Amino acid sequence: MPASQPRSRARDRNNVLNRAEFLSLNQPLKGNQESRSSGRKQSGQAGAAGAQNTNPKERRQSQQLPEEDCMHLNPSFKGIAFNSLLAIDICMSKRLGVCANRASSWGGARSMINLLGITGHGIPWIAGTLICLVKSSTLAGQEVLMNLLLALLLDIMIVAGLQKLAKRKGPYDINPGLLDYLTMDTYAFPAGHASRVAMLSKFFLNHLVLAIPLRILLVLWALCVGFSRVMIGRHHITDVLSGFVFGYLQFRLVELIWMSSNTCQMLISIW
């Protein structure tokens, strides 16, 4: 035992870590321990004081997170299907926007597509209906024209209201034209041109005597005008399809509130 003690002492002397400059590596400083312990005590005291100051109702509310802040790790099947269809709609609409700008693949045909869109605009149709109404001399013609004017005005108001509610932007960042601002057709859903041409084509098919080739051309015109809005980048595919649906519903509404010849004559006399 006495011989082992001097050996252990000699080892301690020869150990480099036992020197004064390396003592901080083996033993933590007392000041750091004291500062850490004091910091923990202060934070614990502050937490305890805050817990005492808060009411039990506030504690319960803080423990219960709102539902919108929670992460939905298992979304519903309807949500997945809706988001997938929306993504497909946006992707297909961007691909079909071949005339969205001059640099597009069909950029040279942009002016022609714009001209086709003007044929389905509300302002030319309202102006043309008013001119025909002034020049019409038959009671049947005035009745049809007055109800057509009512249908056009209802179309503008209904589409403008729905667009203000939805506020959906188009697939491309394209500013509306002057005629679009006049008819309040500034958003994408539903497509105002599509609803108008669907309503007009159905109106003419029901109240005008047309040959079969003219009926086919009328339907093709409505389809071309509707999908030209996708080609020019103003609307999505679903915007145009929903516009066709709303146009048909507007036609049914006009048929329900159809003004008789006497009512039309009274309105014309007031005007």
Rounded Cα distance, 196 and 222, in Å = 9
Instruction: Name the pTM for this structure.
Output: 0.69
| Domain chopping of the chain, boundaries | 107-270
Q: Given pLDDT bands bounded at 50, 70 and 90, which one contains residue 114?
A: confident
Question: Where is mean pLDDT largest: 9-18, 98-107, 120-129?
Answer: 120-129
Q: Given pLDDT bands bounded at 50, 70 and 90, which one contains residue 22?
A: very low
Q: Given pLDDT bands bounded at 50, 70 and 90, which one contains residue 46?
A: very low
Instruction: Select the more confidently predicted residue: 121 or 41.
Output: 121
Q: Given pLDDT bands bounded at 50, 70 and 90, which one contains residue 7?
A: low
Q: Given pLDDT bands bounded at 50, 70 and 90, which one contains residue 174?
A: confident
Amino acid at 235: H
Q: Residues with catalytic annotation?
A: 193, 235
